[in-house]
Structure 1
Amino acid sequence: MAMAPADPTTTPSDGFSAHRLWERGLDRYPDTAARYRYLAVAVFVTIVLYYELYVAGGVAPLMLAHFKMSFLYYVNVLVFANLVGAFGSLAAGIADRWGRANLVTYGLLGTGVLTILTPLAPNKATFAVVTILTGLVEGMCLVATPALVRDFSPQIGRASAMGFWTLGPVIGSLVVSFVANRTLPRFDDSWSSQYYIVGVVGLVAFAVALFGLRELRPGLRDQVMVSVADRALVESRAEAAEREADLRHPWRQMLRLDVLAPALGVSVFLLIYYTAVAFFTIYLTSNFALTTARANGVNSWYWAMNAVALVVVGVVSDRLRVRKPFIVAGTLLAVVMTFLFMTRTTHPHTSASTLIWIISLLAVGLGVAYTPWMAAFTETIERRNPALTATGLAIWGWILRIVVCVSYFVLPYVVGAVDTLTRAPEVLAAAKKVPAGTAPPPTLLHELGELKKAAADAPHQWQAWWWICIVAELLFLVLMLPLAGRWSPRTARADADAHAREVERLTGAQG
């Protein structure tokens, strides 16, 4: 067999002609520098996609007031956006046949344009339509981006790579909080400023992906690669792997207990994460009387600590070659910190510094559990059929979005008082306009009475929601058990050594 050039980044298949802006497949497994470059682009665009998706959560109190939108209406918009996103995730299963890079690249173009158009919405109905369309595209990219990261990361190194990929939603949320905290006061608390900023960033990310995002051809990505030492063997088998890949009945192959149970488990485990994304700002402003900017400052600590934990635990998990012990340890820490967070709900005078300590450790627990789970889940899919990675991730994406949809639908009924509290600025402003010595209008008195009652009820209602989150975290410990992978680092290392010897034997036999 003729030898191809050693550096795949210099082969004709990697040029940047107009044709190559659509045909992005690599014919060789990239060397380390090129592989890290492609991984970096995938992580960067994931961060931007989630920044666009989560920007609403950072300015929700201001946006609700602008559109005169009730909390329940806002939540229902999120419900439908996640429901549509769930089926977008299923549709992205075609990435196993048609590729991943174009799905992500042109998805960025769509979300960038939609984000810039959002502040131009004349009413809340138009806002809802734009948000739902954005959710559809995000649901597709939720599948395509981790599939790209899996393709470019051997199993020894998978947790580190997935840790960086998971920085997408986390740093996306951190950027939302950080930018809102720094820029909202400069723009007179104009919520639309945040959408214009992220929209421009989204279009820049589209340009980066257009020229910098590539993917492996099917024959390369359809194999299990344990370490970079497998590169020569994987390349030599690429043509045969592409011919022999079993793509028949993809859903039937992936709808198995070891895929479904962990996917459901992590989806319910992340209930508190979904709450943080969409409602932490509302929770902190309504329950602890923080300003929107200050609440985003508190949130910044949560996302920053989560980001650090995701990366560090990924490196350590790869070094020890195990996933499940970290999943258990992180989950238990998350349970303890969620309980402590719940106890502060009925203490409205809790200082911002105390809240920062609690949610920072909660974020660490979530990160320690989630990165190894992502690595173990992709390895479980590979155990079933590596040629159907995107299909397996599509099932996870669908379950995830359905759980988000259900949780967002249920939350307003558990925490019903929040709908009243989100109207507090408007009601209090009206009360201040009543001349001194004049009795407020009966309607205003009624609204003030409702506000007082809601303020008394909300803490206990939030506590009920935090209890639901704790139960979900404990359920995750059971549902993650079918995942592939060892519990003992010694056994895992012995498996890796045996694989290395087998690869050396097969490579020598081919030579």
Structure 2
Amino acid sequence: MAGLKRRELTVYPTGAYRWTLLILTTLVTVSLYYVLYVLGSVSTLVISEFHWTLDTYVYLGLISSLCGMFSAGAGGLGDLFGRSNLLLVSTALSVVIAFLLGSAGTGLQFGILYCLLGFCEGFALVMSSVLMRDFSPRVGRGVAMAMWTIGPVGGSLLASKVASAVLSDGGDSWRTLYRISGTVALIVFILCLLFLRDLSPQLRNEIIVKAEADGAVDVARSSAMRPRTWGERIPLRIILPSLGVSLYLLVYITAVSLFPLYLESQFGFTLATANSMMAGFWLVNILGALFFGAVSDRLRVRKPFILAGAVLMFIATAIFASRLGKETSQGMMQALLIVMGLVIACGFSPWLAAVSETAEDLDPARVAAGMAWFGTVNRVVVAVASLILPHVVTSQSGWRAWWVACLVGIVLFIPTIPLLSGSWRRIRSGRTGDASKRSVTATAHP
């Protein structure tokens, strides 16, 4: 039990121990998003049982996103109190809520619980992403942040896979799916309670460039480059790219909550088949995130991948939208979903690494506050999308208008890319972006 009390690391973790901490953070993020995304995979069943209109269902997503917006805005508390303990609180609450959702007797009870779940998600979004930054030096940040994207994507994959299996076996109870997700989250919570740790304030306020397996750590200090406090100015270098990437992710936002419903209502696929196809979408997205994160680490450059992802996403979305109203085979639809899952990863995985590096360059002592801006802006965009969607998804013309909005969002994302830290060209020297102008070497032990 003594290990439960000593939750701060006074030396920077390296080697296998650092990877263990990254994997634990990934697992807790997967479990949280798994609980959150169960609803998207069984939306038609929940709507039918509680006699909701489509408007009611989508507005529930709006209120849940607003709750997440407020909690994400409080993510800066992680700079004061550490990240892992606050993440564990969110996880514990999510476990309880998952089991309560599986027992909800009325639509009102379900709605209140789901909004509380959204509040936990917004807070956990910030804490988990900052933990991934804490445990990943600049060299290797792309892979670490790609692992973070496994959280929402892996949660979606699990939700789709489990729903597809349960529903195809003749099960028709969405309640079982919530109990399964709650059990998974409980197991992960126990593991993280025992083994997940925080860096000490002194360590997490440094910019770590490299961490070798033998314990050597390169530390870059760039205090002259950053404002003294975040309160001195609104960090537009974080806010505008966060707005841009949230618009870029409008297709992803739609996929999370409405793609199974879209595939069922517009193309006639069964709910089980739609979830099976979405599982392919999410799996490719995970593999793509890891690949593009690793390559951007190898080349030590993010922006070309982000731009390429935006351009390819525009093309893939245009082709996907063009199938609306046309007979489309399951094979062709699956191929389109796989391509979209891959190109979303190409843009978002390196972007997440770049925005964390930008937050470090502004002030490494307030990275959680910087990532809280991302979480808040993202939740605002999700909330606005949830407000609009009921008015556009009831007909083919409405869906066409929505796909046009998604294409416009991708275009608006592109001009925000230059605001991020990092070069457009491959860095061949030992420099790793703006933060590595002055470096010293320290020794750490896992």
Q: Shorter-chain TM-score category?
A: over 0.9
**Contact in 2 for aligned 1:28/1:235 (Cα 8 Å):** no
- Select the residue among 265, 276, 280 that pairs with 2:259: 280
Q: Which amino acid aligns with 2:243?
A: L
When normalised by structure 2's length, the TM-score is 0.94
- Select the residue among 230, 234, 254 that pairs with 1:250: 230
Moved beyond 6 Å, runs of 4+: 233-237, 497-501
Distance apart, 1:119 and its partner CA: 2.4
Partner residue, 2:203: 220
Distance in structure 2 (CA, Å) of the matches to 1:91 and 1:161: 23
**Contact in 2 for aligned 1:344/1:350 (Cα 8 Å):** yes
Distance apart, 1:291 and its partner CA: 1.1
Partner residue, 1:73: 56
Partner residue, 1:468: 405
- Select the residue among 310, 315, 328 that pairs with 2:289: 310
> Where do 1:346-365 residues align within 5 Å?
346-347=325-326, 349-365=327-343
For these two proteins, the number of residue pairs brought into alignment is 440
> Where do 1:21-60 residues align within 5 Å?
21-60=4-43
Distance apart, 1:289 and its partner CA: 1.1
Distance in structure 2 (CA, Å) of the matches to 1:252 and 1:177: 45
- Select the residue among 417, 420, 429 that pairs with 1:493: 429
> Where do 1:428-443 residues align within 5 Å?
none
**Contact in 1 for aligned 2:237/2:420 (Cα 8 Å):** yes
Distance apart, 1:414 and its partner CA: 2.0
Other structure's SS at 1:402 match: helix
Distance apart, 1:212 and its partner CA: 1.4
Distance in structure 1 (CA, Å) of the matches to 2:399 and 2:27: 34
Other structure's SS at 1:227 match: strand
Partner residue, 1:410: 388
- Select the residue among 128, 144, 151 that pairs with 2:134: 151
Distance apart, 1:492 and its partner CA: 5.5
- Range that drifts further, 42-51 or 181-190: 181-190
Q: Does 1:173 align with 2:156?
A: yes
Distance apart, 1:249 and its partner CA: 4.7
Distance in structure 1 (CA, Å) of the matches to 2:217 and 2:401: 54
Other structure's SS at 1:49 match: helix
Distance apart, 1:324 and its partner CA: 0.3
Distance apart, 1:479 and its partner CA: 1.5
Q: Which amino acid aligns with 1:288?
A: F
Distance apart, 1:214 and its partner CA: 0.5
Distance apart, 1:480 and its partner CA: 2.0
- Select the residue among 150, 163, 185 that pairs with 1:202: 185
Partner residue, 1:323: 302
Q: Which amino acid aligns with 1:467?
A: V
Distance apart, 1:172 and its partner CA: 0.8
Partner residue, 1:477: 414
Partner residue, 2:113: 130
Distance in structure 1 (CA, Å) of the matches to 2:89 and 2:160: 26
Go from structure 1 to structure 2 and tell me whether the alpha carbon gap of 1:290 and 1:252 turns closer, same or farther (over 3 Å shift).
farther
Distance in structure 2 (CA, Å) of the matches to 1:151 and 1:268: 27
Distance apart, 1:263 and its partner CA: 0.9
Partner residue, 1:87: 70
Distance in structure 1 (CA, Å) of the matches to 2:340 and 2:433: 36
**Contact in 2 for aligned 1:29/1:235 (Cα 8 Å):** no
Which protein shows a greater Rg? Answer: 1
Residues 386-422 of structure 1: per-residue CA shift (max 9 Å, x gap)? 010000000110000010000110111122x2xxxxx
Q: Does 1:345 align with 2:324?
A: yes
Distance in structure 1 (CA, Å) of the matches to 2:156 and 2:190: 22
**Contact in 1 for aligned 2:207/2:219 (Cα 8 Å):** no
**Contact in 2 for aligned 1:143/1:394 (Cα 8 Å):** yes
Distance in structure 1 (CA, Å) of the matches to 2:353 and 2:219: 23
Identity value in percent: 37
- Select the residue among 164, 170, 186 that pairs with 2:147: 164
Distance apart, 1:21 and its partner CA: 2.3
Go from structure 1 to structure 2 and tell me whether the alpha carbon gap of 1:500 and 1:150 turns closer, same or farther (over 3 Å shift).
closer
Residues 355-414 of structure 1: per-residue CA shift (max 9 Å, x gap)? 111111111111000011011101111110001000000011000001000011011112
Q: Does 1:107 align with 2:90?
A: yes
Q: Which amino acid aligns with 1:374?
A: L
Per residue, is there more helix in 1 or in 2?
Answer: 1
Distance in structure 2 (CA, Å) of the matches to 1:81 and 1:257: 26
Go from structure 1 to structure 2 and tell me whether the alpha carbon gap of 1:322 and 1:127 turns closer, same or farther (over 3 Å shift).
same
- Select the residue among 341, 364, 367 that pairs with 1:389: 367
Go from structure 1 to structure 2 and tell me whether the alpha carbon gap of 1:277 and 1:22 turns closer, same or farther (over 3 Å shift).
farther
Distance apart, 1:284 and its partner CA: 0.7
Distance in structure 2 (CA, Å) of the matches to 1:59 and 1:383: 42
Distance in structure 2 (CA, Å) of the matches to 1:221 and 1:145: 14
Relative contact order (C-alpha < 8 Å, sep 6+): which is higher?
2
Distance apart, 1:231 and its partner CA: 6.6
**Contact in 2 for aligned 1:51/1:176 (Cα 8 Å):** yes
Partner residue, 1:379: 357
**Contact in 2 for aligned 1:327/1:370 (Cα 8 Å):** yes
Other structure's SS at 2:169 match: helix
Q: Which amino acid aligns with 1:227?
A: K
Distance in structure 2 (CA, Å) of the matches to 1:224 and 1:175: 34
Q: Which amino acid aligns with 1:309?
A: G
Go from structure 1 to structure 2 and tell me whether the alpha carbon gap of 1:68 and 1:497 turns closer, same or farther (over 3 Å shift).
closer
Distance apart, 1:279 and its partner CA: 0.3
Other structure's SS at 1:29 match: coil
Go from structure 1 to structure 2 and tell me whether the alpha carbon gap of 1:486 and 1:213 turns closer, same or farther (over 3 Å shift).
same
Distance apart, 1:189 and its partner CA: 1.6
Distance in structure 1 (CA, Å) of the matches to 2:408 and 2:6: 47
Q: Which amino acid aligns with 1:250?
A: W
> Where do 1:259-278 residues align within 5 Å?
259-278=238-257
Go from structure 1 to structure 2 and tell me whether the alpha carbon gap of 1:332 and 1:260 turns closer, same or farther (over 3 Å shift).
same
**Contact in 1 for aligned 2:209/2:219 (Cα 8 Å):** no
Residues 80-130 of structure 1: per-residue CA shift (max 9 Å, x gap)? 100011010011210001000011112111101101111221211111100
Unpaired segments ≥5 residues, structure 2: none
